[in-house]
Amino acid sequence: MKPQSPYLTDEAAIITGSGNGIGRALAFEVAGEGARVFLVDSNEQKLADTLAELHAKGHEAQGAVIDLSLAGSAQQAVDQARAAFGSIHMVVHSASPPRREADTWRTVTREIWDEMYHVNVKTGFELARLVGQHMIDEGIAGRMVYLTSLHAHTPRNLPHYATSKAAMLMLVKELAKAWARHGIRINALTPGAIAAGGFKPAGDLALKIPMQRLGSAQDVAAMGLTLLIDRFSGYVTGTEVVVDGGLSVFNWFDPVQ
Ligand SMILES: NC(=O)c1ccc[n+]([C@@H]2O[C@H](COP(=O)([O-])OP(=O)(O)OC[C@H]3O[C@@H](n4cnc5c(N)ncnc54)[C@H](O)[C@@H]3O)[C@@H](O)[C@H]2O)c1
């Protein structure tokens, strides 16, 4: 266990969805603690911009443009990350397709449903399995953080999104139980209403949040980093850490301030 910052020197992380929003913010946090970061995103321009900014700050970063909704994409990501850095010590799975308000129970298509499930659940599982096996084989006490949602528990009017996040939460619990004896930890990180790229706040939502503001990608990334560092979370696995400014304790009977 490393005594003080930087906490992640000599380690390497795969971070999906790191071209934007929370994944991007986590890439800077993890690199800032001395780790090498391998970014995976389907958006070529955003990935290139993030890599350029990491390099400008002197961080060791590489990346690959990969569509994680495709079969074989997890293997592709792991192969490329291992070719770049050798051993992998951390995984952050933040990639998730856009959530469009139009995709309700009535309108969501099979293609949109499948894309959401492939990126979040199937590729999420395959990525974890591949890296988890690698960690076990190499005796690495690895850490993983999977981005879920408050809508793993409450409806969002987007059934493909909410059910996929609920499935991810159980995936985290399954893997945490299976891997704890190997020293590998995996946790769910649950953002509330975060003004990152993937969420467009409407109306007076901020006033319904007890802390009276939307969250930032940075708010979530700071907790994600905590979950990756044994010094702060070494006895934490298979759980869900909520970063929502108190949104999930909003009470409809309270007068809006
Ligand atoms: N922002 C919020 O309020 C909020 C709330 C709850 C949960 N979350 C979760 O947190 C995570 C990050 O959210 P965000 O707001 O930063 O999202 P974002 O849309 O800003 O970023 C997501 C990134 O994933 C990438 N991506 C999308 N589909 C992909 C694919 N098929 N293959 C590879 N990359 C792909 C995008 O290009 C983008 O860079 C997501 O899992 C999201 O569901 C966010």
How confident is the model over 25-69, as pLDDT tens digits? 999 999 999 999 999 999 999 999 999 999 999 999 999 999 999
- Residue 201 covered by a domain: yes
- Burial pattern 221-254, b for ≥16 Cβ within 10 A else e, equals bebbbbbbbeeebeeebbebbbbbbebeebeeee
Alpha carbon nearest to ligand 1 atom 42, residue: 96
Q: Residue 42 corresponds to which tokens in the numbers above? A: 């389907």
pLDDT score for 3 = 57
Q: How far is the CA of 159 from the centre of ligand 1 (A)?
A: 17
As a whole number, mean pLDDT of residues 148-160 equals 97
Q: How far is the CA of 48 from the centre of ligand 1 (A)?
A: 17
- Measured at the CA of 149, the angle between CA 145 and CA 154, to 5 degrees, comes to 150
Q: Which domain holds residue 217?
A: 12-249
- Residue 207 covered by a domain: yes
pLDDT score for 256 = 60
Q: How far is the CA of 179 from the centre of ligand 1 (A)?
A: 26
Q: How far is the CA of 124 from the centre of ligand 1 (A)?
A: 13
- Residue 144 covered by a domain: yes
pLDDT score for 202 = 76
pLDDT score for 4 = 78
CB burial class (10 A; 0-12, 13-18, 19+) of residue 187?
A: buried
Residue 144 has pLDDT above 90, yes or no: yes
**What does residue 191 show for φ and ψ, rounded to 5 degrees?**
-80, 150
- Residue 5 covered by a domain: no
Ligand 1 pocket list (CB less than 6 A): 17, 19-23, 41-43, 46, 67-69, 94-97, 119, 147, 149, 191, 193-194, 196-199, 217
Mean pLDDT, the chain, rounded, equals 96
- The pLDDT > 90 percentage for the chain reads 90
**Collapsing DSSP states into helix, strand and coil, what is residue 197?**
coil
Q: Tell me how far apart the alpha carbons of residues 19 and 29 are, in angstroms, rounded to a whole number.
A: 14
Q: Tell me how far apart the alpha carbons of residues 20 and 24 are, in angstroms, rounded to a whole number.
A: 5
- Write the pLDDT tens digit of every residue in 160-169: 999 999 999 9
- Residue 87 covered by a domain: yes
- Write the pLDDT tens digit of every residue in 175-219: 999 999 999 999 999 999 999 877 777 778 898 899 999 999 999
The model carries a pTM of 0.97
**Domain count along the chain:** 1
- Residue 81 covered by a domain: yes
Q: How far is the CA of 41 from the centre of ligand 1 (A)?
A: 10
pLDDT score for 41 = 98
Q: Tell me how far apart the alpha carbons of residues 34 and 36 are, in angstroms, rounded to a whole number.
A: 7
Unique residue bearing structure tokens 């800077």: 28
**What does residue 102 show for φ and ψ, rounded to 5 degrees?**
-70, -15
- Residue 6 covered by a domain: no
Identify which of 154, 142, 143, 166 has the alpha carbon closest to the alpha carbon of residue 193: 154
- Residue 101 covered by a domain: yes
Question: Whole-angstrom distance between the N-terminal and C-terminal Cα of the chain?
Answer: 46
* CATH number of the structural domain spanning residue 161: 3.40.50.720
Alpha carbon nearest to ligand 1 atom 25, residue: 17
Asked if residue 6 has a cis previous peptide bond (ω within 30° of 0), the answer is: yes
